[in-house]
Amino acid sequence: MQSLRLPLLSILCAGFSASAYAARPLVTDDARLTNAHSCQLETWMRSYQSGQELWALPACNLGENFEITLGGGSYHNRDNDYRTEDWVGQFKTLFKPLETNGWGIGFAAGKVMHPDIQPGPNQLGNTYFYIPVSFSFRDDDVVVHLNAGMLRDKQQARNKLNMGIGSEFKLTGPFKGVAEVFGDHTQAPFYQFGLRYSLIPEVLQIDGTFGQQVNGNSGTEWFSMGVRWTP
């Protein structure tokens, strides 16, 4: 795992982004929250050439404008049978909620305990904050998200500026496309693209993506599949 982890960085986490994550499967977060006084669950698998991640991130909006995410993930390296876990806590609020054909902006901050899982593709750091900004076009058929923030890399004892741009766009029927580029100022960025399918509109979706570091080798590639449940 060491040969893959070191060139990559840290969710982004999120974002952290995972939330430190926008609506699955984006890492670039959005200026939206879980519905007031309700919860959601995002869970996914990300597979690399040398190993696999499993994540589960429940999030609850405790009032009208204060969302808390508490969850974690595990990584298993198949080459040397190495295993590790991460635990994440994050809060998020909005200064201006995203409106149809309008824009929104918010703020999120969090902390990762034992950050060791593929930091680059997850945009993770020990502590982090970011500002998500979203823009809606054509009655929400196209939504664009911008993130800018900072994360503290404890292993390297330095602060890193991170940013991302992502988009969701309606295709046909229950299908949506997603695409994004994200990263920090110390290395080449990452990108991913894929599809989101609504099994039950606004309640249950599944998704899949392919991603890689720009100019990276096959060791930086990943494939992910996830589920988002918003009861």
Give the pLDDT confidence score for residue 7 in this predicted structure: 31
pLDDT band at 87 (very low <50, low <70, confident <90, very high): confident
pLDDT tens column, 116-170: 555 555 555 578 999 999 999 999 999 999 999 998 887 778 899 999 999 999 9
Task: Give yes or no for a contact between 176 and 166, defined as CB atoms under 8 angstroms apart.
Answer: no
Stretch 5-16: mean pLDDT:
34
pTM here is: 0.85
Mean per-residue pLDDT of the chain: 85
CA angle 73–75–80, rounded 5-degree value: 165
Give the pLDDT confidence score for residue 158 in this predicted structure: 87
Domain hosting 149: range is: 2-229
Residue of higher predicted confidence among 205 and 2: 205
Give the pLDDT confidence score for residue 22 in this predicted structure: 59
Q: 15-38: string of b/e by CB count within 10 Å (b at 16+)? A: bbbbbbbbbbbbbbbbbbbbeeee
Number of structural domains found in the chain: 1
The CATH number covering residue 96 comes to 2.40.160.40
The pLDDT of residue 59 is above 90? yes
For 33, 41, 147, the CA distances from 107, given in Å and listed in that order, are 11, 20, 10
